[in-house]
Amino acid sequence: MKRKYKYLFLILIAASAAAVGTLAAMHYWRVNTPALTFNGDRGVGVKIDDVHYTSARKGRVEWVLDAKSATRYKNGNLMALDTVKLVFHNKNNVPYTMTAKEALYNETAGEIDASGGVTVSSEEGYSLKTERLKYNSRTARITSSDTVEITTGGMKVTGDGLLIDLNKEQLFLFKDVRAIIVDKTV
């Protein structure tokens, strides 16, 4: 009789250990697996959290994009991004960092349309603020039709409408341009 209880006790311990192991494995996979959410909306293909995307051409990194989430649509090449950070480089490999609340990325056109508290900064100390702008990776140009504020050193420049050619290192403001010199040494 004692033997029967001994085997029953061993089977109970083995079953408990297997259950604990299964639960631990399920928790590990859930915590360490990127979250993929398939939305019930027929137009949405997939939603991915914690996005890190790099674009390179001819062995050179053109830009690196990080976003809190990305929603890829079935029709077309459009991706909606949330809480965006984009680091892009000109032909001389000078990095520029753009942040925005949200953006749309059109893969076919190579264009990112950013909106919501958009900022662009460079290592040279330039800072740009606007509500909306577009970056085209094929032409290395930034454009905006909104009001833009640019700060550099001791000067603040505002204007409506913007074109920046990163490769030519040229910047154009089109309308209502104002410059304020803040630092008297400039």
The alpha carbon of residue 66 and the mean position of all alpha carbons in its chain are separated, in whole angstroms, by 3
Cα angle: 57, vertex 60, 133; to 5 degrees:
70
Burial 37-62 (b: 16+ CB within 10 A, else e): eeeeeeeeeebbeebeeeeeeeeeeb
Residue 2 has what pLDDT? 62
Tens digits of residue pLDDT in 24-50 = 566 665 555 555 554 455 555 688 889
Residue 171 has what pLDDT? 87
Q: Which of 43-47, 75-79, 166-170 has the lowest mean pLDDT?
A: 43-47
Nearest to 136 by CA among 98, 80, 174: 98
This prediction's pTM: 0.69
The alpha carbon of residue 186 and the mean position of all alpha carbons in its chain are separated, in whole angstroms, by 35
Other beta carbons within 10 Å of 119: 15
Tens digits of residue pLDDT in 82-105 = 999 999 887 788 888 999 999 998
Residue 95 has what pLDDT? 87
Q: How far apart are CA 126 and CA 143, in angstroms?
A: 16
Q: Percent of the chain, pLDDT > 90?
A: 30
The residue type found at 149 is E
Does 149 score more than 90 pLDDT?
Answer: yes
Residue 129 has what pLDDT? 95
Residue 63 β-bridge partners = 55, 88
Tokens of 41: 């909306």
Higher pLDDT pick, 43 / 117: 117
Q: How many CA atoms lie within 13 A of 66 on its CB side?
A: 5
